[in-house]
Amino acid sequence: LIVLPLLASLFASNSWALTPEEVQKAVAEAQSTVQNLPSAEEDSLAIAIAVSLSMPRASLLRLGQDAKDAGLALTFRGVGQEVKTQANEKPRTVLETYGTGLIRRHLEDFRFLSEAGVNVQIDPVLFARHHITDVPRVMVVPVCRTACEKSEALLVARGDVTLRYALEHLKKELQEQLSQEPENPRFIKAQTLIDRALQRLGDRP
């Protein structure tokens, strides 16, 4: 289904007839393009920074500014006070627990970050999937198009440290894993992500 449009566009660009050898070459190039496309089931990786408004504002702002420069976001479980399910109630949905009403009422809480240009995300699923009970955490996590077979975080750094320190800690752990599995594609992807973030941060501590 993908080869045909590629060939059609190739033939449309040529007003002359193609020789059998040229047709064979075009087919081979089209097939190569298709084979190099990522699989629909293939997972990718991302760097997630899990935080909370319970953290000191100065720590959040410092981490947020570093995250912005590194092209990353601060991820919160929700906003305001979580609505707890009572013992006699059915389990609440994510929207009921972290609903738009809460978000509207508590957007002011994030103003000091938004004014500094920090990218803020609300993602209770990240916290639930990785059982996050303490923050901050800087993690390399899978981001899947479909259900993840390997949903656990690949690398985790905990503690109120600078983003550079956390990323360098992740890189050190990753290098140990790469020494044992140098061809592991997930480790190679993770190394690229971490190196890119560190490069964007520059020489700051």
pLDDT tens-digit readout, 64-118: 999 999 999 999 987 655 556 667 777 766 566 665 565 566 677 888 998 999 9
Q: Does residue 119 or residue 8 have the better pLDDT?
A: 119
- Output the CA angle 122-168-195, nearest 5 degrees: 80
Per residue in 22-57, pLDDT (tens digit) is 545 554 554 444 344 344 344 689 999 999 999 999
**What pLDDT band is residue 141 in, cutting at 50, 70 and 90?**
very high
User: Amino acid letter at 98?
Assistant: Y
Full DSSP string of the chain = --HHHHHHHHHHT-SSPPPHHHHHHHHHHHHHHHHHSPPTT--EEEEEEEE-TTS-HHHHHHHHHHHHHTT--EEES-SSS--PPPTTSPPPPHHHHS-HHHHHHHGGGGHHHHTTT--EEE-HHHHHHTT--SS-EEEEEEE-SS--SS-S-SEEEESS--HHHHHHHHHHHHHHHHHH-TT-HHHHHHHHHHHHHHHHHTT--
**What pLDDT band is residue 21 in, cutting at 50, 70 and 90?**
low
Averaged pLDDT, 153-171: 95
* Residue 75 near residue 49, CB atoms below 8 Å: yes
Average pLDDT across the chain, whole number: 77
Q: Does residue 65 or residue 145 have the better pLDDT?
A: 65
Q: Does residue 132 or residue 19 have the better pLDDT?
A: 132
Q: Give 81's strand partners.
A: none
Closest CA to 167 of 185, 133, 191, 131: 191
* Residue 97 near residue 83, CB atoms below 8 Å: yes
* Residue 75 near residue 123, CB atoms below 8 Å: yes
pLDDT the model gives residue 18: 47
* Residue 79 near residue 103, CB atoms below 8 Å: yes
pLDDT the model gives residue 10: 40
**What pLDDT band is residue 122 in, cutting at 50, 70 and 90?**
confident
Which two three-digit tokens encode residue 9?
């566009």
Closest CA to 151 of 72, 43, 38, 75: 43
Q: At what angle do helices 163-180 and 185-201 cross, to 10 degrees?
A: 150
pLDDT the model gives residue 107: 72
- Predicted TM-score (pTM) of the model is 0.69
Could you tell me the strand order of the sheet in which 155-158 lies? Answer: 120-122, 74-76, 44-51, 137-143, 155-158
**Chain centroid to CA 35: how far?**
25
